[in-house]
Chains A and B, each alone.
Chain A
Amino acid sequence: MIRYTPGVDLWGEPLATLRRIQDEINRTFNEPQAPAAEYPALNIWRGEDAVLVTAEVPGVRMEDMELTVHQNTLTIKGKRAPVATEPDVSFHRRERTFGSFARTIALPFNVDPDRVQACAENGVLTITLPRPEAERPRKIQISKA
């Protein structure tokens, strides 16, 4: 005997619900997603000869930011300035945070500090960190015996 369950059409698409749940699970696990505990939120991309780090830093001026690279670590330091206001204002909402921040991350390989490039666009900082020439993986030719 089949009990009637509202909302589940047993005869139309018996596996529709299961498939939907499976889709949700796949979506959750397929997209790399680590909740950002620290500021700024970062995305890291890895290429053969370089690492690319992008950071969401809305409202941070480039001159208030400092990047340091040592072997395979990258440190992003900076300061978020409070919104500039005239003296006679009343605040309705103050949700944006300000103050200094610092974050250090380990990169997948050592990088060449002299060739690091950084640029900011629309509040997103993009840092390109190339691998030193000497440490790049090399293809080895196999000689015929």
Chain B
Amino acid sequence: MTDVSGTGKGTAERTAESTRAQPVYIPQADIYETKDALFVSLEMPGANPDAISITLDKRVLAVRGRSVQKRPAGFSPVHAEYREGDYERSFTLSEAIDGDRIEASFKDGILDLKLPKAQPAPAKKIGVKHG
């Protein structure tokens, strides 16, 4: 009942309520892979880049942010289609990622992540002993 869905931005279904009476948005994502990295772009309009948190725990990549609206002084809202809220989304990665070399940048409301794949351990040949 309290969920709001804006254009394209889905709202998360949560089992536990958040302490703020604000919607939690699932940012829309583009994810693609090249030979040596995984690229993730997330739409997070209005998010403050300094307050975006990106964590990689084992194979779960979690992104959180919050969109903040400026309340202009002397103006009153007459029409609203989106409102402030939290952005939250996490992905389970299928491949091992080199956590130390993750790059993140935020431009025009898009968070771009580059997740370099971990170098595979060199192949080892195992000899079989004759019994």
Do A and B form a real pair?
yes
Contacts of B49 on A, CB cut-off 8 Å? 122
The answer to whether B76 and A91 touch across the interface, beta carbons within 8 angstroms, is: no
The answer to whether B77 and A56 touch across the interface, beta carbons within 8 angstroms, is: no
| 34-59 of chain A: CB within 8 A of chain B | 34-36, 38-48, 50, 52, 54, 56-59
Q: Count A interface residues, CB 8 Å.
A: 48
- Contact for B79 among A42, A58, A124, CB less than 8 A: A42
Within the complex, the shortest CB–CB distance from B116 to chain A, in Å, comes to 14
The answer to whether B75 and A96 touch across the interface, beta carbons within 8 angstroms, is: no
Q: Is the interface of B mostly helix, strand, loop or mixed?
A: loop
The answer to whether B78 and A32 touch across the interface, beta carbons within 8 angstroms, is: yes
Binding site for B on A (CB under 8 A): 24, 27-28, 31-36, 38-48, 50, 52, 54, 56-61, 83, 85-86, 88-97, 108, 120, 122-124, 126
Binding site for A on B (CB under 8 A): 1-2, 4-8, 21, 28-35, 38-39, 41, 43-49, 69-70, 72, 74-83, 106, 108-110
26 A-B Cβ contacts within 8 A? A27-B2, A31-B83, A32-B77, A32-B79, A35-B81, A41-B7, A41-B81, A43-B79, A44-B79, A45-B75, A47-B74, A47-B76, A52-B75, A56-B109, A59-B41, A89-B34, A89-B39, A90-B32, A92-B31, A95-B30, A96-B28, A120-B108, A122-B47, A123-B46, A124-B109, A126-B70
